[in-house]
Amino acid sequence: MTELNTSELREKAKTLTAGEKVLLSGTVYTSRDAAHKRIMALLKNGEPLPYSLEGAAIYYAGPTAAKEGMAIGSCGPTTSGRMDVYSPKMLDLGLSAMIGKGERSEAVCDAIVRNGAVYFCAVGGAGALAAKCITECEVIAFEDLGCESVKRLHFEKFPLIVAIDSHGGNIFKSGRAKYFKIS
């Protein structure tokens, strides 16, 4: 299992391979559908973003309120495909990694390869367990969106799987091919 810090993503993303298990630590930003739409409007209007996309990692999640003694409530991944319309542009602007669940469009896969980025999958249905790997949570933008506001999180050895790598490796395609070959 590879241990990786988000500060190394720009450099290390190109060394990761589809299927590899990673423990990710460092700063990650939550952004879902509504936040992505607002970020695109900010870009269109030439306004500053709530966080720099350069080298950033986005977690597609809408965490629940924190319970006593925790930095965050349940924080599982949401379906990534809903962000596909926005992702190529964000990758072209320097985004290094996306974290979510499910397949991505060909346009997103092409942008991952073109930009030397990576798409990680987190285990769906394990939001309470994932919360134990998040040590800090701060709302930094769009507070009116509630659980979908943009948050700055600090991950501590958050378990992930490289789903799509910067060389075109894709566990959704290779896994499906392997399954049909043995069935």
Per-residue pLDDT of the chain (183 residues), as tens digits, is 999 999 999 999 999 999 999 999 999 999 999 999 999 999 999 999 999 999 999 999 999 888 888 999 999 999 999 999 999 999 999 999 999 999 999 999 999 999 999 999 998 777 888 899 999 999 999 999 999 999 999 999 999 999 999 999 999 887 666 656 655
Pull the structure tokens for residue 82. 């809903």
pTM: 0.93
Confidence (pLDDT) at 93: 97
Distance CA 143, CA 77 (A): 19
Report the domain count for the chain: 1
Confidence (pLDDT) at 129: 84
Angle 80-40-152 (CA atoms, 0-180°, nearest 5)?
Answer: 65
Three-class DSSP category at 141: strand
Provide the CATH number for the domain around residue 173.
3.20.130.10
Residue 96's domain spans which residues?
2-182
Distance CA 94, CA 16 (A): 17
Q: In whole angstroms, what separates CA 5 from the centre of its chain?
A: 14
b/e map 133-142, b = 16+ CB within 10 Å: bbeebeeebb
Confidence (pLDDT) at 108: 98
- Half-sphere exposure at residue 51, Cβ-oriented, CA atoms within 13 angstroms: 26
